[in-house]
Amino acid sequence: MAYSDKVLDHYNNPRNVGSLDKDSDAVGTGVVGAPECGDVMKLQIQVEGDTIVDAKFKTFGCGSAIASSSLATEWIKGKKLDEALEIKNTEIVEELALPPVKIHCSVLAEDAIKAAVADFKSKKNKDE
């Protein structure tokens, strides 16, 4: 299977790999997918006010899944929470030129962003 140059670039030089302190109130963590499906994404955001100041990911999955999550962290950094939630999987598909069989990877990345934001918000609501 031929991969687009952008997928290869993200696979070979993944951006923002790593982990943030998941117990911190300023960090939201989203884990989506399942090992038996061959894809698990963990995406974390560090928030100040309502701005995402840092984002990290780790992904178990094919090259397209790794590239989708790497791209997602790149896009959400510096964005406000509401702006991050507006990112659509179709934009990831377009940017990475994903073939139809890999669209689920972009869906997973969108889900991971939403899950991380939801986790952050639920922590904040508990505090208030």
Partner 1 sequence: MTRPIYLDYQATTPVDPRVLDTMLPYFRECFGNAASRSHAYGWEAEKAVDEARGKIASLIGASPKEIVFTSGSTESINLALKGAAEMYGSRGRHIITSQAEHKAVLDTCKHLEKQGFEVTYLAPDDKGRHSAEQVAEALRDDTILVAIMWANNEIGTLNPVREIGALCHERGVLYFCDATQAVGKVPVDVQADGIDLLCLSAHKIYGPKGVGCLYVRRRNPRVRLVAQMDGGGHERGMRSGTLNVPGIVGLGAACELCEQELEADATHSRELRERFEKRIFSELDHVYVNGDPEHRLPGCSNLSFAYVEGESLIMGIPDLAVSSGSACTSASLEPSHVLQSMGVGDELAHSSIRFGFGRPTTTEEVDRAAEQIISAVKKLRELSPLYEMVQEGIDLSTVNWTSH
The answer for residues whose C-beta is within 8 angstroms of residue 93's C-beta and 6 or more apart is 103, 106
Backbone angles phi, psi at 32, to 5 degrees: -130, 160
Q: Tell me whether residue 37 is one of the annotated catalytic residues.
A: yes
Residues in contact with partner 1, shown as a per-residue x/- string from 2 to 21 under the rule CB under 8 A: -x----x--x--x--x-x--
Question: Is residue 73 a contact residue for partner 1 (CB under 8 A)?
Answer: no
Choice among 18, 21, 25, 37 that is catalytic: 37
Q: Which is nearer to partner 1, 65 or 96 (CB)?
A: 65
Residues touching partner 1, count (CB under 8 A): 32
Q: Which of 76, 89, 104, 117 binds partner 1 (CB under 8 A)?
A: 104
**Cα(81)–Cα(100) distance, integer angstroms:** 29
Q: How many CB atoms lie within 10 A of CB 104?
A: 20
Catalytic status, residue 62 = no
Residues that bind partner 1 (CB under 8 A): 1, 3, 8, 11, 14, 17, 19, 31-42, 58-63, 65-66, 101, 104, 107-108, 111
